Amino acid sequence: MSHKCSSLIVHCMDFRFQRAFTSYMEETGLMGDCDCVSGAGGIKELVECEPGENNYVWKQIKGSYRLHDMSHAVLIAHLDCGAYGGSEKFASRELEFEFHKQELAKAEHVIRDSFPAISVKKVIAEIEGEDNVVFHDVD
């Protein structure tokens, strides 16, 4: 088996999204072809801490790029993320969505600065209704 994969996915550790992340990977062809990085807030540390060996997310991206030759990063933020204080921290769903969009843009910049060859896809996940998760692609 090849030790290469096409992609890396970064998402929050939040258990409420586990099944949805798995389905997302299957539906987008990433299952079995991506390294997975999961932690509280997903990209939060990548954005808030200096890029380098002490930045867990950055270090995983570097490892995936070097060891598995991946060339595509999928960054998934989500609404009501406890690492960011949850939805109650925001005055509206729109403001929360915009905040995560900006966070994703910052994360994309960090990746482009450190690993220019990696393309980035940005996604915001949202729980709708009981436990239906919707994935929004963002620019």
What does the block give as tokens for 124?
A: 């915001």
Tell me the number of residues near Zn ion by CB under 5 A. Answer: 3
Stretch that binds Zn ion, among 58-66, 81-89, 92-100, 109-117 (CB under 5 A): 81-89
Residue 35 pairs in a beta bridge with 8
Stretch that binds Zn ion, among 13-21, 23-31, 96-104, 117-125 (CB under 5 A): 13-21
Residue 77 pairs in a beta bridge with 124
Question: Using the rule CB under 5 A, which residue among 81, 104, 111, 133 binds Zn ion?
Answer: 81
One-character DSSP codes across 12-23: E--GGGHHHHHH
Q: Which is nearer to Zn ion, 5 or 107 (CB)?
A: 107
Instruction: In angstroms, give the least distance from the CB of 16 to Zn ion.
Output: 9
Residue 51 phi/psi, 5° resolution?
A: -60, 140
Stretch that binds Zn ion, among 64-72, 74-82, 97-105, 127-135 (CB under 5 A): 74-82
Under the binding rule (CB under 5 A), the answer on residue 14 touching Zn ion is yes
One-character DSSP codes across 27-67: HTT-TTSEEEEEETTTTHHHHHS-SSTT-HHHHHHHHHHHH
Residue 27 and residue 4: Cα distance in Å, rounded?
A: 20
Question: Using the rule CB under 5 A, which residue among 5, 8, 9, 12 binds Zn ion?
Answer: 12
Q: Which is nearer to Zn ion, 5 or 125 (CB)?
A: 125
Catalog residues that contact Zn ion under the rule CB under 5 A: 12, 14, 81
